[in-house]
Amino acid sequence: MKRLIVIGGVAAGPKVASKAKRCDPDLEVVIYQEEGEVSYSGCGLPYYIGGVIPERKKLLIRTAEQFGLDGIQVLKRHRVENIDLQKRQVSGVKLDNGQTFGDTFDRLVLATGSEVIRPKIPGMDLGQVFFLHSIFDADVILPQVQSAAVKSVVVVGGGYIGLEMAEALSQLGKKVTIVELAPQIATLFDEDMAAVLRQYLEKKGLVILTSEGLRGLTGQNGKVTRVQTQKRELPADVVILSLGIRPRVELARKAGLKIGETGAIWVNERMETSAEGVYAAGDCAETTHRVTGKRVWIPLGSTANKQGRVAGINVCGGHETFPGVLGTGIFKAFDFHVAKTGLNMREAKMEGLEPIQAIVRGYGRAHVLPGGKESVLKVIASRKTGRILGAQAVGEGPSDKFIDTVAMALQAKMTCSQLAEADLAYSPPFSPVLSPVIVAACVLMNKIEGTLGWLSAAELKEKRAASGDHFVVLDVREEKEVKEKRIPRSQWIPLDELEKRLGELDKNKEIAVHCHSGLRSYKASLKLKHHGFTKVENVDGGLLCWSYDLEGEKAQD
């Protein structure tokens, strides 16, 4: 009879235990869990605070009693403090009474998770200053934000948990301000896609301050009242700090296990650490990025679950592997679905992959059917090899479907020409006749094979500022669209009139052509090329990704 000890009981730990027990019913399995709850949905916490999940017990996936019925012992409020790899022993303290305990193992799995990063600023000890990491954090936050006395909330950090919390609090009627040190929110996304999201969130009433670091918190009677940033002071009845997390590895480090270059526990493909028979899974472990081949730490509930399965099989003598992640992720912000997979443009450039991007309208059904929703979809490929490198989707459309499709293409190391051959489910209620993913793949092929130049919205903005009179922005949309909003000082010739009105354009100038999404401007650019214009550039994604100055009736939309 062998004994498996699992340290950590939220996500990866319970999965390891259950899988191992199913693989080998004779195995003794014990989970040591520091908190007073086991097996709960950490990802569900913002929805619990926002009231979407009405009862705390809905967050609890399985109780200690239920594990008991499967022959798995769960010891809650037991903190493991030492691992002796030689003697195959662990020891620790029972948090309820301070007594120590010891145990021995044949196999050990660390599933110690992650911990929040606490900024070293004045005022951190004030009341009404919260982190959201554990279900017990939610227990403390919930009554506070449900109080009508709490009117203004400052969320520090514009990552996905910060944004989920901002939505939840906004739905509860709070005035929410997001403070982010970086120049953009959602820093895993490219600037243009993050700008699409930001415009939407501002319309939803959030105040978003970027490039603005947190300096300190001040308060009265022990409670926070103001947040100091580098630029201003903000009133706050509650502050949510969401500055990121890091792997929880002190126990592993103390035991002498190898810590990887990412700061998380090093494991091989079998989820085994540097010590034989000792495994790690979930947020405490590092893994491999399947696009770059490099070691990464990308903590996610879904990854924890898959790694738990692999570790659970292997502790029973199996030979399962976890080959790594693609960096796929998604979050909801009001009705926007914000998803990504693979590398963004910045990451791909840093890897020397010479990325190019296609930005298209990601409509969720055929245009003949009314009522469809749209996301902006970006797909990235390598100009050298044509290989797909990543994708991002932002909007009310089926971002999740687009990103899952591209994630599969990434896993299979497809090129854009292979992605263009995808056979995806089409009928009018579900997709345009060509999936936006396929359209994006075709745009990438055109870019690689074609002779046209391209500009991103940010590049257009910079070039226009720098080039003065030698640079023309040509808008080829219809009159109605142009009246609503247009880039100031752009020249306007609708696509259908372009052939007749070529004389209005100067062949010696550089011409950046744009429309709403990039399709008509692509056709216009081809026409200009055909008529001897040589300095023609199509603007990626057109106005979809233009988050800079606009004029017209709906310029503020």
Sheet holding 28-33, edge to edge: 72-76, 28-33, 3-7, 107-110, 278-280
Q: Are 390 and 380 in contact (CB under 8 A)?
A: yes
Task: Candidates 230, 323, 483, 549: give the one binding a copy of itself (CB under 8 A).
Answer: 323
Q: Are 483 and 552 in contact (CB under 8 A)?
A: yes
Half-sphere exposure at residue 409, Cβ-oriented, CA atoms within 13 angstroms: 32
CB of 528 to a copy of itself, least distance (A): 11
Task: Candidates 114, 170, 225, 341: give the one binding a copy of itself (CB under 8 A).
Answer: 341
CB of 481 to a copy of itself, least distance (A): 17
Within residues 56-95, the interface with a copy of itself by CB under 8 A covers 58-59, 61, 69-70
Stretch that binds a copy of itself, among 201-209, 413-421, 451-459, 544-552 (CB under 8 A): 413-421
Task: Candidates 32, 331, 336, 533: give the one binding a copy of itself (CB under 8 A).
Answer: 331
Stretch that binds a copy of itself, among 189-197, 361-369, 376-384, 503-511 (CB under 8 A): 361-369
Beta bridge mates, 93: 79, 100
Task: Candidates 325, 343, 360, 394: give the one binding a copy of itself (CB under 8 A).
Answer: 325
Nearest Cα to Cα of residue 152 among 229, 209, 210, 206: 206
Q: Are 391 and 348 in contact (CB under 8 A)?
A: no
Give the nearer residue to a copy of itself in terms of CB position, either 26 or 276: 26
Our finding on whether 473 is near a copy of itself (CB under 8 A) is no
> CB within 8 A of 83, min separation 6: which ones?
89, 90, 108, 251, 252, 254, 255, 278
Q: Which sign does the torsion angle of CA 196, 202, 204, 207 carry?
A: positive
Task: Candidates 210, 228, 411, 490: give the one binding a copy of itself (CB under 8 A).
Answer: 411
CB of 235 to a copy of itself, least distance (A): 31
Identify whether 442 is a catalytic site residue.
no
Within residues 272-301, the interface with a copy of itself by CB under 8 A covers 290, 300-301
Q: Are 292 and 298 in contact (CB under 8 A)?
A: no
Catalytic residue, chosen from 23, 43, 284, 416, is 43
CB of 186 to a copy of itself, least distance (A): 13
Helix-strand-coil percent breakdown of the chain, rounded to 5? 30, 30, 40
Give the nearer residue to a copy of itself in terms of CB position, either 219 or 301: 301
Task: Candidates 7, 132, 339, 511: give the one binding a copy of itself (CB under 8 A).
Answer: 339
Within residues 303-322, the interface with a copy of itself by CB under 8 A covers 303, 305-306, 309, 322
Our finding on whether 407 is near a copy of itself (CB under 8 A) is yes
Task: Candidates 93, 124, 275, 442: give the one binding a copy of itself (CB under 8 A).
Answer: 442
DSSP string of 385-445, one letter each residue:
T-BEEEEEEEESS-HHHHHHHHHHHHHTT-BHHHHHT------TTT--SS-HHHHHHHHHH
At 262, which amino acid appears?
T
Give the nearer residue to a copy of itself in terms of CB position, either 22 or 254: 22
CB of 87 to a copy of itself, least distance (A): 31
- For residues 361 and 378, what is the distance between their CA atoms, to the nearest angstrom? 9
Stretch that binds a copy of itself, among 252-260, 351-359, 432-440, 455-463 (CB under 8 A): 432-440
Q: Please give the distance of CA 140 from its chain centroid, rounded to a whole number.
A: 26
User: With contacts defined by CB under 8 A, how many residues of the chain interact with a copy of itself?
Assistant: 78
CB of 13 to a copy of itself, least distance (A): 14
Secondary structure of 98-143 as H, E, C letters: CCEEEEECCEEEECCCEEECCCCCCCCCCECEEECCCHHHHHHHHH
State phi, psi for 38 to the nearest 5 degrees.
-130, 155
Q: Please give the distance of CA 326 from its chain centroid, rounded to a whole number.
A: 12
- For residues 466 and 69, what is the distance between their CA atoms, to the nearest angstrom? 70
Stretch that binds a copy of itself, among 72-80, 126-134, 423-431, 463-471 (CB under 8 A): 423-431
Within residues 166-225, the interface with a copy of itself by CB under 8 A covers none
Task: Candidates 101, 334, 430, 471: give the one binding a copy of itself (CB under 8 A).
Answer: 430
> Residue 354: which region, alpha, beta or left (left: phi > 0; alpha: psi -120 to 50)?
left
Which residue shows structure tokens 């009018």?
A: 428
Task: Candidates 412, 554, 555, 557: give the one binding a copy of itself (CB under 8 A).
Answer: 412
| Number of CB atoms found within 10 A of residue 23's CB | 16
Within residues 233-262, the interface with a copy of itself by CB under 8 A covers none
Our finding on whether 527 is near a copy of itself (CB under 8 A) is yes
Q: Distance of CA 189 to CAs 126, 201, 346, Å? A: 33, 15, 9
Stretch that binds a copy of itself, among 83-91, 206-214, 348-356, 521-529 (CB under 8 A): 521-529
Our finding on whether 414 is near a copy of itself (CB under 8 A) is yes
Our finding on whether 496 is near a copy of itself (CB under 8 A) is yes
Our finding on whether 431 is near a copy of itself (CB under 8 A) is yes
Q: How many residues does the chain have?
A: 557
What is the contact mask toward a copy of itself in residues 10 to 49, using x (rule: CB under 8 A)?
Answer: -x----------x--x---------------x-xx--x--
Our finding on whether 435 is near a copy of itself (CB under 8 A) is yes
| Number of CB atoms found within 10 A of residue 144's CB | 16
Our finding on whether 116 is near a copy of itself (CB under 8 A) is no
Catalytic residues: 43
